[in-house]
Amino acid sequence: MFSKLSVVCTSVLITLAAAMPGGTTPPVTTPTSNQCCNSVVSSTSSAASVVAALLGLDLTGLNVPIGLSCSPITVLGNNCGGTSVTCDAPDQEWGGLIAINCIPITA
């Protein structure tokens, strides 16, 4: 029963995101912000599209990695528990829900 509910909810969110008018295209700049993201997906993925649409962003034409549910890494050696990446992630604009152009941090 719960799997059916999650499929319905996901379908509704995707439909709403697709029905929303196009938003602004976020700028893609050199990543400078160390972030801990729950996941990193392609900008063409449905998950990235749904979150971007809810934030009024248009990812059409972008082909960059997108971080979802990100928070800044402020201390080196911080135990991220997710995926450590460097992104173009202005927290003040998107509240940590999405980060653009995420590149894995390698030691």
**pLDDT digit string, tens, across residues 45-93:** 999 999 888 888 888 888 889 999 888 887 766 678 788 888 886 555 6
Q: How much is the pTM?
A: 0.67
28 neighbors 88 (Cβ within 8 angstroms): yes
**pLDDT digit string, tens, across residues 28-40:** 767 878 888 899 9
Quote the number of domains for the chain: 1
| CA dist., res. 81 & res. 68, Å (int) | 14
* Residue 23 binned pLDDT confidence (cut-offs 50, 70, 90): low
- pLDDT reported for residue 62: 86
Range of the domain at 41: 2-104
- pLDDT reported for residue 65: 92
pLDDT over 80 at 1, yes or no: no
Sign of the Cα pseudo-torsion (38, 36, 40, 70, in order): positive
